[in-house]
Structure 1
Amino acid sequence: MKPYQTIPICDCGEPLVPIPGDRFALLHPHPYQTLGAPYGNQSPYYLRSGVLAALLQAQEFLLQQRPGWGIQIFDAFRPLAVQRYMVEHTFLEQVQARGWLVEALTAAQREEVMAEVVQFWAVPSDDPATPPPHSTGAALDVTLITAAGAVVDMGSPIDEVSPRSHPNHFAASNLPDQQQFHAHRSLLNQVMESAGFRRHPNEWWHFSLGDQLWAWQRRQETGSPDFLAHYGRASVDLWVQ
């Protein structure tokens, strides 16, 4: 169990609503759907209504800082079945990257790989008290695009299982290109924090608002135990078509 999973959830019941494609850049086809992730009739481009309202505020703040720039949505709502599929997919990728065979893994090797995977992927828990952040509709993976529509270089791709994914990986570098990567990541964080989001400690691209991770981070920042999670695992009846 991760520390944030001990935070109590008092779900406010807000619906899942679609992210407007005329306000944000959405990836089509969606990368996980391309891999075969089992979304069924659900879309990855949904958020709780209050989270979407905050995202729109973040977009307005970005436009003030960088006219013409935009927030690109890589991923948002993730059904539990998709979370499980992607954890298994990433596990297999990391096994293959080591030159190992899944069927020949020792217990120690399996534990080593999974320990690396769960730094970046939440365990697909069925327990309603410990939902993966994306399954709440309160977490999303984002990056920035320029006024010309080019994706801003952050120094590593979204979902890379690597130390380069850590938000401050390039912070101490003296190399100009790596200084630029850090500046871009800092801008993204500033934009999202302006609307109340908090960034995942291990992922420059992952932000949330109102889930357990967000509440845990706010407790760490303020020392106050009053922050609770407003969003638990999103159920089918919250879905707004």
Structure 2
Amino acid sequence: MNLKPYQQIPIVECHEPLAPIPREVFVIPPTHPYAALGADYQGRSPYFLRQGVIQALQQAQQALQEEHPHWKILIFDAFRPISVQQFMVDYSFQTLLQQRGLNEANLSEAEKQDLWQVVYELWALPSSDPATPPPHSTGAALDITLVDAQGNVVDMGSEIDELSARSHPDYYATAQTPPEQTYHQHRQLLHRIMTQAGFRRHPREWWHFSLGDQLWAWLGQQENSSDDAIARYGRI
């Protein structure tokens, strides 16, 4: 599998430690969705991030409540060991086979590669190379959504981790129906509070934001080609 463009960004590790995401500030589900599928975190909590990332996330939460009192950011996923990255990549491949009614044993190598290409549009390669860590394995990336004042998860028009074009942030940007326009408004709200706090959003995932990793540095370089693109968070 070819490297993604952001994986060529150099990392100058700052050695900032992981810290627990404060449960009193954010919504954290009682059971992690990947652990529920069987992913083994080997005693490590997924609800950790680098200290600087947590501080920025708290700024985003404050900005959210200034616009929508009592709304909160829901943490779907944060720190992810490479072993869990591998588990979810394999799980997604099997899910894609089921969705398309395919039997892996009957597929040609070219057909398998086409399916893997779909998987790797969403999931980063579970690379053990320190120069190309999956974003979530750095403690600098997280998957999030919003919860309203009544405690209901805000409808964004698709599920997190959905393998479809609906995952693209601007999928509903030109929508004509009121529900779809609302989905776009919700995505814009999430994007606005996070970018104001210094995060950058994954180009193909409305829910994925990072700060300080290779993807974040690469996206900054795309916005301003004069910037020196260097990541400060590498693999934990």
What is the RMSD computed on CA atoms of the aligned residues? 0.7
1:137-175 residue CA offsets vs partner (Å, 9 max, x unmatched): 000000001111110000000000000000000001111
Deviation at 1:224, TM superposition (A): 2.1
Q: 2:71 touches 2:149 (CA, 8 Å); kept in 1?
A: yes
For 1:13, the equivalent position in structure 2 comes to 15
1:133, 1:77 → 2: CA distance? 9
For 2:109, the equivalent position in structure 1 comes to 107
1:108-137 residue CA offsets vs partner (Å, 9 max, x unmatched): 111111111111100100110000000000
Choose from 47, 72, 82 the match for 1:70.
72
1:98, 1:112 → 2: CA distance? 13
Q: 2:51 aligned with 1:49, yes or no?
A: yes
Matches within 5 A, 1:189-208: 189-208=191-210
Unaligned runs of 5+ in 1: 235-241
Deviation at 1:97, TM superposition (A): 1.1
For 1:134, the equivalent position in structure 2 comes to 136
Q: 2:185 aligned with 1:183, yes or no?
A: yes
Deviation at 1:38, TM superposition (A): 1.4
Which residue type is aligned with residue 182 of structure 1?
A: H
1:105, 1:16 → 2: CA distance? 42
Q: Residue 121 of structure 2: SS of its match in structure 1?
A: coil
Choose from 131, 152, 159 the match for 1:157.
159
2:177, 2:224 → 1: CA distance? 34
Deviation at 1:222, TM superposition (A): 1.1
Deviation at 1:75, TM superposition (A): 0.1
Q: 2:9 aligned with 1:2, yes or no?
A: no
Instruction: Give every structure 1 segment of 4 or more consecutive aligned residues whose post-TM-superposition deviation is greater than 6 Å.
Output: none
1:198, 1:225 → 2: CA distance? 15
For 1:229, the equivalent position in structure 2 comes to 231
Choose from 22, 27, 42 the match for 2:24.
22
For 1:122, the equivalent position in structure 2 comes to 124
For 1:85, the equivalent position in structure 2 comes to 87
Q: 2:222 aligned with 1:220, yes or no?
A: yes
1:197, 1:210 → 2: CA distance? 8
1:106, 1:73 → 2: CA distance? 39
| 168-177 or 104-113, larger mean C-alpha shift | 104-113
1:4, 1:225 → 2: CA distance? 14
1:84, 1:28 → 2: CA distance? 23
Which residue type is aligned with residue 193 of structure 2?
A: V
Deviation at 1:103, TM superposition (A): 2.4
Q: 2:17 touches 2:51 (CA, 8 Å); kept in 1?
A: yes
Q: Residue 119 of structure 1: SS of its match in structure 2?
A: helix
Q: Residue 146 of structure 2: SS of its match in structure 1?
A: strand
Q: 2:100 aligned with 1:98, yes or no?
A: yes
For 2:150, the equivalent position in structure 1 comes to 148
Under a length normalisation based on structure 2, what TM-score does the superposition of the two structures give? 0.98
Under a length normalisation based on structure 1, what TM-score does the superposition of the two structures give? 0.96
Deviation at 1:98, TM superposition (A): 1.1
